[in-house]
Amino acid sequence: MTILRVLGSAAGGGFPQWNCNCRNCDGVRRGTLRATPRTQSSIALGDGYQNWIIVNASPDILAQLRASPALQPARAPRDTSIVGVILIDAQIDHVTGLLMLREHRRPLPVYASAAVLSDLSTAFPLTRMLSHYCGLDTRVLALDGSAFAVPQLDAVELTAVPLESKAPPYSPSRNAHRIGDNIGLRIVDRQSGRRAFYAPGLARIESHVFEELSVADVVLVDGTCWTNDEMLALGFSTKTAADMGHLAQSGPGGMIETLDRLPAARKVLIHINNTNPILDEDSPQRHELEAHGIEVAYDGMEIAL
Ligand code: MLT
Ligand code: MN
Ligand code: ZN
């Protein structure tokens, strides 16, 4: 059995965000809103035998590991259950946690596309910086649909699925898309055959992405914004959700419409921005999701595959 554990369910900035006083952030800080704080975007995949893969290394990884004792089995004076890190893009909220893992005793196995590894060796030179600490043992992910496994955790078969979202603002390919700037991850438990698809950044439901979603038992997809102009309307940004590579949930062509067409047993929104009204458990938007059988990921959520 593969266990999928949500380490961090918020988008970049987390919830509440340190400098934000939007209705959600202020309300959760004051305790006047029924909502739960969330750390930044990451999941872990475990085999139940003390081996875990981290998918996206969040800036909050140390707090996430403290909140997840199963990931710290303490078999030796210095020990970890992390057998590898997979990166789905080079966004700050997905890669900065690598710096926090610098005390690793061996080069840390990191799986990412050539595009992501190129950003991490140039514009945000984590590979070079970390070569002075544990070092990264980087492996280039194939984007041709071939499956891979992480040694020590081969009960789970993984496939990188290139898709449309956005490279980070610091990347030279922010406005010049390269295939592999963003991927989704197909996760299959070899024994049960059960399948999940994880895509916290999804700009558009391309036909191959819809096919992936249609055959998954569990989907965990982009839950960043409820409306496309959410950040704009609050005066927090000049960018729409689409500008940032995220498909909004509500309205015609929104994520809810796609989720409604899927047979998946679990439909979960993840990577939720702190401005998104679905974080307020009493909001009409949250009730609308409930009516559609759509769940909102939270830190510590576990799903068995
Ligand atoms: C995004 O996915 O657009 C990021 O969360 C932005 C960020 O890291 O600030
Ligand atoms: Mn993000
Ligand atoms: Zn906020």
Query: Which tens digit of pLDDT belongs to each residue from 15-27?
Result: 999 999 999 999 9
| Confidence class for position 74, pLDDT limits 50, 70, 90 | confident
Centre of ligand 3 to C-alpha 95, Å, is 22
Residue 304 lies in a domain: no
CA dihedral 186, 190, 194, 195 (to 10 degrees): 0
Residue 305 lies in a domain: no
- Look at ligand 1, atom 9, and give the residue with the nearest C-alpha: 12
Q: Is the pLDDT of residue 205 over 90?
A: yes
* Ligand 1 mutation pick, 38, 41, 93, max ligand atoms within 8 A of CB: 93
Burial of 260 (0-12, 13-18, 19+ CB in 10 A): exposed
Residues 73-88 as b/e (b if ≥16 CB within 10 A, e otherwise) read: eeeeeeebbbbbbbbb
The two three-digit tokens of residue 135, written as one number: 């070092």
CA-89 nearest atom, ligand 1: 2
Neighbours of ion ligand 3 (CB under 5 A): 17, 20, 22, 25, 274
- Look at ligand 1, atom 3, and give the residue with the nearest C-alpha: 244
User: Is the CB of 91 within 6 Å of ligand 1?
Assistant: yes
User: Is the CB of 92 within 6 Å of ligand 1?
Assistant: yes
Q: Is the pLDDT of residue 49 over 90?
A: no
Residue 205 lies in a domain: yes
Return d(Cα 77, Cα 64) in angstroms, integer: 21
Return d(Cα 277, Cα 282) in angstroms, integer: 9
Return d(Cα 7, Cα 60) in angstroms, integer: 9
- Look at ligand 1, atom 1, and give the residue with the nearest C-alpha: 12
Residue 230 lies in a domain: yes
What's 142's DSSP letter? Answer: P
Q: Tell me how crowded residue 219 is: count the other CB atoms within 10 A of its CB.
A: 25
Q: Which domain holds residue 207?
A: 3-298
Centre of ligand 2 to C-alpha 78, Å, is 31
Residue carrying the six token digits 């035998």: 49
Give how many domains the chain has, as a whole number.
1
Mean pLDDT in residue range 64-91: 95
* pLDDT score for 131: 98
User: Is the CB of 200 within 6 Å of ligand 1?
Assistant: no
* pLDDT score for 81: 96
* pLDDT score for 16: 98
| Confidence class for position 241, pLDDT limits 50, 70, 90 | very high
Sequence-separated (6 or more) residues with CB below 8 Å from residue 219: 196, 197, 199, 213, 259, 262, 264, 266, 267, 268
Centre of ligand 3 to C-alpha 110, Å, is 32
Q: Is the pLDDT of residue 161 over 90?
A: yes
* pLDDT score for 237: 93
pLDDT, mean over the chain: 97
Residue 54 lies in a domain: yes
| Confidence class for position 303, pLDDT limits 50, 70, 90 | very high
Q: Is the pLDDT of residue 203 over 90?
A: yes
Q: What are the φ/ψ torsions at residue 277 (nearest 5 degrees)? A: -60, -15
Q: Is the pLDDT of residue 155 over 90?
A: yes
Q: What percent of the chain has pLDDT over 70?
A: 100
CATH number at residue 179: 3.60.15.10
| Confidence class for position 55, pLDDT limits 50, 70, 90 | very high
Mean pLDDT in residue range 234-263: 97
Q: Is the pLDDT of residue 174 over 90?
A: yes
